[in-house]
Amino acid sequence: MATYPSTLGAAPKSFFLSNSLFNISLGTATPSRISSVKAAGECWTKHPAWTNVRQERWEGHLAVEGHLPTWLNGTYLRNGPGLWEVGDHSSHHIFDGYATLVRISFRRGCATGAHRQVESDAYKAARAHGRPLHREFSQLCPSEPGTLLDRVRDVVGLASGTLLTDNANVSVLPLGDGRVLCLTEATKGSVLIDPETLDTIGKFRYADRLWGLLQSAHPVVTGNELLTLLPDMFRRGHRVVRMAAGSNERKMVGRVHCRGGQAPGWVHSFAVTEKYIVVPEMPLRYSLAGVLKSQMTPWYLFDWLPESGSYMHAICRFTGKTVASVEVPPFMALHFINAYEQGDAIIADCCEYYADPSVIKALALRRLRSPGMNNDAFPDVRVARFSIPLDGTLMGELETVLDPEVHGRGVEMPSINPAYQGKEYRYVYACSARRPCNFLNCLTKIDLGEKEAKNWHELGSVPSEPFFVARPGGSDEDDGVVISIVSTMEGDGYALLLDAMTFQEIARVRLPYGLPYGFHGCWIPENV
């Protein structure tokens, strides 16, 4: 890869990571093909999707292959982990990586782009000390093995939150008031960024007294407010809160009581309908010892307790009252797709792992970097539909929506047309699978009405969340494009644009090199 003289001011102290010099550069993206064909195993081991980002930051013009729609004017942002090795330290899990933001801006058929590390305290401390000093998803004990006093200090630091990470590597979202927030599941990991320069502006300070170490990293942002959940470790439930656009103050909507086990179920995401907030309670529950002390369970910070039951709760967005709390068949889901009201029930769709939490183990870096893709280690996952009765019935239902073979028994990182959030809808865009695979390697458009799917796949490529952007003024649900950032086995990277209706490729916007796998993106239309 060519590097360019920096025009962005003084470079930060350079340091070596994975044999690459971390520096800043500015330039024009050109493909960096590896000419010699390596053995497939070696390429998966070194795939950019789980290899450290090459540089601290880059920005420049991007070459376009194909044609960008002239109506596509705005900025696509994506957040996710991008740096797992610091000094001699290697992270264990994909969720541990320090946040890398990516920006692709579209204007009248042209594109520019950038990537940059989020300057969290955890990232800056790790850089300064050559090892992590904060506790990440799979890394509990920040001290080097030491005295009893060190250990006591760690336990106090974790319980009080001072040693918890603020590495905001899960999502990025516009608050609807010009501010853009990056999030992780620690409340202190709420970081404001500049969507153009990708500068870290600083911590987002909540101006309220809703104390709590944890939050959902997947708030639901509507036109005028943000809805989110704050897990309550001690009273076994979740506080449901809202924050109006333009405000820093969260206000209580209501409280959901979890019904099983000793601790609330892990909620990575939840769904809302027009009237209700739907809160899942799965048997993968927070481990009090895992979160608050230096102790790891076989499931990282969680316990898998199928005998503690699975439940779905719904509370009214306006009164805060729990309107349903029903037992459902056992389930394991990280991402809810959408929910809506239908007659006397709530329908809630999710990507469901057949009540098996092993996906979190499948995302350990050692597994992803293992040479064989042929052992098909990514667990089966389906589109599953909950029916939550609102008439007082005690049990809810869970069914598979369509034959999972049509999307390769893989469906994750879903997106929909945001105009259909909370409403009956037909199309889901998601990562899917061409088996055998150890990680999702396809994109899919699922038609929930016809129960069929269209897939996009290229051998050796890892595409991230396919994000739907609607054509302004379009009336069909699938009138728009889908944007996904793809990293290839050869080390290349590009933003792929698919026509959301036909799921055919319309353009590739070339990045200077393949980027690490990102989790969630957002769209900021121009002039808004």
Ligand X SMILES: CC(/C=C/C=O)=C\C=C\C=O
Q: Distance between alpha carbon 467 and the CA centroid of its chain, in Å? A: 12
C-alpha torsion 292→298→303→307, nearest 10: -160
The single residue among 181, 258, 291, 433 that binds ligand L7D5B6GP, judged by CB under 6 A, is 291
| 331 in contact with ligand L7D5B6GP (CB under 6 A) | no
Binder of ligand L7D5B6GP out of 164, 183, 243, 333 (CB under 6 A): 164
Identify the residue among 304, 456, 519, 523 touching ligand X (CB under 6 A): 519
Nearer to ligand L7D5B6GP, 80 or 396 (CB): 80
User: Residue 515 contacts by C-beta under 8 Å, 6 or more apart in sequence?
Assistant: 48, 53, 82, 100, 102, 115, 485, 487, 493
Partner in contact with 106, chosen from ligand X, ligand L7D5B6GP, none, beta carbon below 5 to 8 Å by kind: none
The residue within the footprint of ligand L7D5B6GP, chosen from 24, 118, 126, 186 (CB under 6 A), is 186
439 counts as binding ligand X under rule CB under 6 A: yes
CB 87, CB 37: distance < 8 Å: no
Torsional class of 324: left (φ above 0), alpha (ψ -120 to 50), beta (otherwise): beta
Which residues inside 296-325 make contact with ligand L7D5B6GP, applying CB under 6 A? Answer: 301
- Residue 47's binding partner, choosing from ligand X, ligand L7D5B6GP, none, with beta-carbon cut-off 5 to 8 A by kind? none
When CB distances are held under 5 to 8 angstroms depending on the partner's kind, the choice from ligand L7D5B6GP, ligand X, none that residue 136 binds is: ligand L7D5B6GP
Return the number of the residue (115 or 520) whose C-beta is nearest ligand X.
520
Residue (93 or 313) nearer to ligand X, CB: 93
**CB of 275: closest distance to ligand L7D5B6GP in angstroms?**
28
Binding to ligand L7D5B6GP (CB under 6 A) within 258-277 occurs at 268
| Residue 268 is labelled as binding a ligand | yes
Question: With binding defined as CB under 6 A, does residue 232 bind ligand L7D5B6GP?
Answer: no
Q: State the distance between the two ends of the chain, measured CA to CA, in whole angstroms.
A: 36
CA–CA gap between residue 281 and residue 341 (Å, rounded): 19
Least separation in angstroms between CB 266 and ligand L7D5B6GP: 7
DSSP 3-state assignment of 179? coil
Spatial distance between the Cα atoms of 501 and 133, rounded to a whole number of angstroms: 47
CB of 21 to ligand X, least distance (A): 30
Residue reference for tokens 């939490």: 357
Give the one entry of ligand L7D5B6GP, ligand X, none that residue 425 binds, where binding means its C-beta sits below a cut-off of 5 to 8 angstroms depending on kind: none
H helices present in 336-439, as ranges? 359-362, 365-368
Interface with ligand L7D5B6GP, residue 332, by CB under 6 A: no
CA 156/CA 137 separation, integer angstroms: 18
Per partner kind, with CB cut-offs from 5 to 8 A, the member of ligand X, ligand L7D5B6GP, none near residue 165 is: ligand L7D5B6GP
- Residue 412 CB, nearest distance to ligand X (Å)? 5
520 is in an annotated binding site: yes
- Regarding 334 and contact with ligand X (CB under 6 A), the answer is yes
Tell me whether residue 315 or residue 495 sits nearer to ligand X (CB atom).
Answer: 495
Regarding 412 and contact with ligand X (CB under 6 A), the answer is yes
How far apart CA 443 and CA 491 sit, in angstroms, is 19
Helix segments in 255-333, DSSP class H = 288-292
291 binds, among ligand X, ligand L7D5B6GP, none (CB under 5 to 8 A by kind): ligand L7D5B6GP
Largest Cα span, the chain: 67
Neighbouring residues of 165: CB distance < 8 A, sequence distance ≥ 6: 120, 122, 134, 135, 136, 184, 186, 189
- Minimum CB distance to ligand L7D5B6GP smaller for 98 or for 468: 98
Integer Cα distance of 287 and 295 in angstroms: 9
Backbone dihedral angles phi then psi of residue 125, each to the nearest 5 degrees: -65, -40
Q: Give the integer Cα–Cα distance in Å for 291 and 400.
A: 33
Query: Minimal CA–CA distance to 99: which of 201, 197, 184, 194?
Result: 184
Contact call for residue 352 and ligand L7D5B6GP (CB under 6 A): no
Which residue shows structure tokens 């990440």? 136
Query: Which residues make up each annotated binding site?
Result: 218, 268, 335, 520
Residues that bind ligand X (CB under 6 A): 170, 334, 412, 431, 439-440, 519-520
Residues that bind ligand L7D5B6GP (CB under 6 A): 95, 135-137, 164-165, 170, 184-186, 214, 268, 291, 301, 334, 519
Query: Which residues make up each annotated binding site for Fe cation?
Result: 218, 268, 335, 520
